Structure 1
Amino acid sequence: MYRSSKLKTIILSICFLSIISACSLSSEKPNDLNIEVENFTYTNQENVPFGLSDLENKVWIADFIFTNCTTVCPGMTYNMVQLQSKMKEAGVDAEIVSFSVDPSIDTPEVLKEYVSKFGADFSNWHLLTGYSDDIIQKFAKNSFLTIAQKDENSDQVIHGTAFYLIDQQGIVLTKYDGNNPDFDQIIKDIKSLE
């Protein structure tokens, strides 16, 4: 009798702990990267300076694209427009920042025209350029642990395809597959930072 009672107590305790753990995990803030974004000021699609100070106390999503891309960038840009729309529907407040990895071609005007074709809303989307290839290569590596390098055999740029979640203090918390993003997870993670 005593053993049976003790066993029930142990099983109930394990079940209770499992439920508590699951509940705490669901509201936990993502933080598998924990990288501080280097200070920056570049040029946005309106041809005005825009930098890390403009994102202070804001949650933001970042990616790396270029307008002459013949592979992943159109799909990533389409997905970012979808994310922007879903964030608006969910009442989620976050900025979007796309860094060009081909700044010699991607002028502010070219970037704006490119993203406009996908139906982007520029009220919270910032397309950045106005730096050298070397600067964006180092910035991508140091702040996002990703690559941004010209392909020596073509006019293309080799770059990462992730969407990154950055918190109000400019810390990169986690990343998502920009080619096949889990929109619900991204929105949930943004909400966990509010």
Structure 2
Amino acid sequence: MKKIMAFGIVSLVLLLTACGNSAIEDFSHTDQRGEELSLENLKGTPWLSTFVFTNCTTVCPPMTFNMASIQEELAAQGIDQYKIVAFSVDPAVDDPEVLNDYLKKFNVPDESKWHLLTGYSQDYIAEYAKDNFKSFVKNDPSSDQVVHGTSFYLMDKNGEVANNYDGYGDVPVEEIVEDLKELLDESE
């Protein structure tokens, strides 16, 4: 009986550990301003992350608009200690100039908070998305489009995924803002 109980406790601990935050792998990529951004640069600050590409004809424009709406709400509440990081899933097309032009199409309240990243291969970002965000990235062989996940990820100050949300349809803006506030309160 004691062996069964010990096994149950060990199993529960392993399950709870697996459900906790997961740290992402280090990265260093070029943003839309031609500047390098790394996970190390983001340490100490919570950030929102997603995956987009500039010639997307479906989900990316609404997702970028939705992220800008989250930023509007953060600004309205006086919250300014965060970053927004979007990994391009079409890095062969999305160079810094293209990413910069893309971001200008959206009415973002504070462009300095945004980092649209490129400077890697598509194979790299497909693996990185899968391994670190449990998301998918795959070329559509019949078009110039890339199929990818539509989640927004809230990252804590240590570069761990604190939560994820729908970034396309029913975006929980208030929940994201409240969760970000909690992360900021924890870091004080």
* TMscore range, shorter length: 0.7 to 0.9
Q: 1:103 to 1:182 in 2, by over 3 A?
A: same
- Which residue matches 1:162? 151
What is the match of residue 179 of structure 2? 189
Give me the TM-score of the superposition, normalised by structure 1: 0.81
Instruction: Please state how far the C-alpha of 1:166 moved relative to its aligned partner.
Output: 0.4
Question: Aligned equivalents of 2:85 and 2:19: distance in 1?
Answer: 20
Q: Could you list the runs of 4 or more consecutive aligned residues of structure 1 that deviate by over 3 angstroms after TM superposition?
A: none
- Provide the rounded CA distance (Å) in 2 between the counterparts of 1:52 and 1:122: 19
Does residue 143 of structure 2 align to residue 144 of structure 1? no
SS in 2 for 1:193: helix
Aligned to 1:53: 40
1:63 maps onto 2:53 in alignment? no
Deviations 1:85-124 (A, max 9, x none): 1111112221100110000000111111111111222211
Q: Percent identity?
A: 46
Instruction: Report the number of matched residues.
Output: 164
Structure 2 length as normaliser, TM-score?
A: 0.84
Q: Provide the aligned C-alpha RMSD in A.
A: 1.3
5+ residue gaps, structure 2, are 1-17
> Match for 2:78: what amino acid?
G
Aligned partner letter, 2:149: G
Q: Which runs of 5+ in 1 are unaligned?
A: 1-30
Shift of 1:148: 1.1
Distance of 1:73 and 1:102 partners within structure 2: 12
Which has the larger Rg? 1
